[in-house]
């Protein structure tokens, strides 16, 4: 039986590209967006399903109670707004899906619905919204709150938020725009209605003041990790993205969200679960291992790794002993990402946990393109999975060299095995693309 191809996405942010190493992003000044447009074009040549632009809304101070380490090493910031970048990528590509992250904490639902609709029109139906509820108190403080609401409430609010947005997207019938020259009518008023939404958290009159976009609603991407987050993802997402946590962990996660979807009346096959990986590639296995060692053996690797995990969990990891096992931790921030990191019960030291994150929690991803492609195929066969979300190795900045390794090394090796898409269906929307296999 020939293998089934799986989906590929790439998770990046609109942030600083590599500037500290011999092979850079091309100057370390990415703020005009040109670097990311080039990246998207490389991904499109490699037939990726989508580029996902991550976003958070603060400069962290979680590690050591100061922003020093974050600014020194550009960790989780500075980063620029993903929405103009998404528009730029959409206008510069033809087939690639473009996903941007917007927080339900930060945008009034009406603005979000309009923004997504506009981006989906600019992207000609290839836009997706990565729905996040935000996990950092410092971000909440930037929006007039003293701290985040508890997770349960954030997701209750997100449920209502998404429902309101769906109603706004539905406030125009698909055929409301008539552009009838005879009567001089642009839009048929009988097909555009207020929604008069009144929920526990949000209220909006409607209708939306922009036309329906090609997908009407964007594709939904989500990364719930806690039980409440998984439930939200299972009931909402077209594509779920999740950290890797060993093969058994991947299988358990995917089985869980699919079971939740089925229990809620959704067809689980409508949801593509993509696991985060950061393969490290070389022309030989030795070369790949040497590359990996250069990152993980750097004197500041653990500090950078822990600052990064601290930023998304609001836990100050500078207070723990690197050479002792980590106690089990919980957070009101990204619990799922914390669980993938802390590997509770493994007895590993904090230093080892940091090293395990290099290729993002899955072994066998450091080698030649053929070795890594083989391993990814095996893992998907075992997990029964839908695909992978590539990202850069832990603590590294994104470089043209890394993009090239993936798009011109790994992806062709996957394609030779029938494991990755080799062509796009012309005109397919992102949702259609995700449902092709």
Ligand X SMILES: Cc1cc2nc3c(=O)[nH]c(=O)nc-3n(C[C@H](O)[C@H](O)[C@H](O)COP(=O)(O)O)c2cc1C
- Nearest distance from residue 177's CB to ligand X, in Å? 33
Q: According to CB under 6 A, which one of 229, 325, 369, 385 is a site residue for ligand X?
A: 229
String marking each residue 198-227 x if it binds ligand X according to CB under 6 A: -------------------------xxxx-
Q: Applying CB under 6 A, does 242 fall inside the site for ligand X?
A: yes
Site for ligand X in 249-288 (CB under 6 A): 276
Q: According to CB under 6 A, which one of 25, 109, 135, 325 is a site residue for ligand X?
A: 135
Q: Closer CB to ligand X, residue 229 or residue 282?
A: 229
Q: Closer CB to ligand X, residue 241 or residue 302?
A: 241
- Nearest distance from residue 398's CB to ligand X, in Å? 15
Give the binding range for ligand X (CB under 6 A) out of 236-244, 250-258, 300-308, 413-421. Answer: 236-244
Q: Applying CB under 6 A, does 357 fall inside the site for ligand X?
A: no
- Nearest distance from residue 76's CB to ligand X, in Å? 10
String marking each residue 383-422 x if it binds ligand X according to CB under 6 A: ------x---------------------------------
Q: Please give the torsion angle defined by the CA atoms of residues 105, 109, 112 and 113, in that order, rounded to the nearest 10 degrees.
A: 150
Task: Please give the size of the binding site for ligand X, defined by CB under 6 A.
Answer: 25
- Nearest distance from residue 324's CB to ligand X, in Å? 25
Q: According to CB under 6 A, which one of 212, 243, 385, 393 is a site residue for ligand X?
A: 243
Site for ligand X in 72-131 (CB under 6 A): 101, 103, 130
Q: Closer CB to ligand X, residue 171 or residue 231?
A: 231
Site for ligand X in 281-340 (CB under 6 A): 334-337
Q: Applying CB under 6 A, does 235 fall inside the site for ligand X?
A: no
Q: Closer CB to ligand X, residue 30 or residue 225?
A: 225
Strands 203-204 and 197-198: antiparallel
Q: Closer CB to ligand X, residue 158 or residue 208?
A: 158
String marking each residue 153-192 x if it binds ligand X according to CB under 6 A: ----------------------------------------
Q: Applying CB under 6 A, does 51 fall inside the site for ligand X?
A: no
Inter-residue contact 173 to 191 (CB < 8 Å): yes
Q: Closer CB to ligand X, residue 14 or residue 110?
A: 14
φ, ψ of residue 302 in degrees (nearest 5): -65, -40
Residue nearest to ligand X (CB): 229
Give the binding range for ligand X (CB under 6 A) out of 110-118, 132-140, 292-300, 366-374. Answer: 132-140
Q: Is the dihedral of CA 34, 35, 36, 41 positive or negative?
A: positive
- Nearest distance from residue 117's CB to ligand X, in Å? 20
Q: According to CB under 6 A, which one of 12, 56, 213, 397 is a site residue for ligand X?
A: 56
Output the 3-class SS for the chain: CCCCCEEEEEEEECECECCCCCCCCCCCCCCCCHHHHHHHHHHHHCCCCEEEEECCCCCCCCCCCCCHHHHHCCCCCCECCHHHHHHHHHHHCCCCEEEEEEECCCCCHHHHHHHHHHHHHHCCCCEEEEEECCCCHHHHHCCCCCCCCCHHHHHHHHHHHHHHHHHHHCCECCCCEEEECCCCEEECHHHECCCCEECCCCEECCCCCCCCCCCCCCEEEECCCCHHHHHHHHHHCCEEEECCCHHHHHHHHHHHHHHHHHHCCCCHHHCEEEEEECCEECCCHHHHHHHHHHHHCCCCHHHHHHHHHHHHHCCCHHHCCCCCECCCCCCCCCHHHHHHHHCCCCCCEHHHHHHHCCCCCCCCCEECHHHHHHHHHHHHHHHCCCEEEECCCCCCCECHHHHHHHHHHHHHHHHHCCCECCCCCCCCCHHHHHCCC
* Residue in 192, 329, 334 with CA at minimum distance from that of residue 276: 334
- Nearest distance from residue 339's CB to ligand X, in Å? 8
Residues that bind ligand X in the complex, under the rule CB under 6 A:
11, 54-56, 101, 103, 130, 132, 134-135, 151, 223-226, 229, 241-243, 276, 334-337, 389
């Amino acid at each position: 039986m020939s293998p089934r191809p799986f989906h590929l996405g790439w998770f990046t942010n609109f942030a600083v590209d590599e500037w500290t190493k011999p092979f850079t992003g091309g100057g370390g000044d990415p703020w005009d967006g040109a670097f990311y447009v080039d990246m998207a074009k490389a991904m499109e040549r490699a037939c990726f399903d989508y580029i996902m632009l991550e976003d958070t809304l603060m400069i962290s101070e979680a590690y050591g109670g100061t922003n020093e380490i974050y600014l020194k090493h550009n960790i989780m910031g500075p980063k620029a707004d993903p929405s103009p970048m998404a528009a730029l990528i959409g206008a510069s590509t033809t087939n690639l899906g473009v996903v941007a992250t917007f927080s339900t904490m930060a945008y009034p639902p009406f603005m979000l619905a309009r923004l997504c609709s506009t981006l989906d029109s600019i992207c000609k139906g290839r836009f997706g919204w990565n729905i996040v509820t935000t996990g950092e108190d410092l971000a909440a403080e930037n929006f007039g709150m003293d701290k985040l609401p508890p997770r349960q409430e954030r997701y209750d609010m997100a449920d209502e938020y998404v429902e309101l947005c769906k109603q706004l997207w539905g406030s125009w019938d698909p055929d409301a725009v008539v552009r009838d020259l005879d009567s001089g009518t642009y839009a048929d008023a009988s097909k555009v209605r207020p929604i008069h939404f009144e929920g526990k958290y949000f209220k909006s009159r409607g209708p939306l003041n922009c036309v329906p976009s090609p997908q009407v609603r964007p594709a939904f991407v989500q990364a719930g990790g806690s039980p409440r987050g998984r439930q939200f993802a299972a009931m909402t997402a077209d594509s779920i993205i999740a950290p890797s946590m060993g093969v058994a962990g991947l299988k358990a996660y995917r089985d869980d969200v699919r079971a939740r979807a089925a229990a809620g009346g959704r067809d689980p096959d409508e949801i593509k679960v993509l696991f985060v990986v950061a393969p490290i590639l070389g022309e030989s296995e030795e070369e790949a291992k040497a590359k990996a060692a250069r990152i993980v053996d750097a004197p500041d690797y653990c500090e950078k790794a822990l600052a990064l995990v601290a930023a998304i969990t609001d836990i100050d990891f500078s207070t723990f002993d690197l050479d002792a096992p980590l106690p089990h931790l919980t957070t009101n921030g990204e619990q799922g990402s914390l669980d993938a990191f802390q590997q509770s019960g493994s007895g590993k030291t904090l230093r080892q946990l940091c090293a395990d994150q290099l290729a993002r929690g899955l072994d066998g991803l450091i080698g030649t393109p053929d070795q890594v492609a083989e391993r990814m195929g095996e893992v998907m066969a075992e997990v029964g999975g839908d695909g992978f979300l590539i990202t850069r190795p832990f603590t590294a900045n994104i470089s043209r060299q890394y993009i090239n390794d993936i798009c011109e090394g790994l992806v062709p090796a996957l394609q030779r095995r029938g494991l990755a898409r080799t062509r796009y269906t012309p005109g397919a929307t992102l949702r259609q693309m995700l449902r092709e296999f």
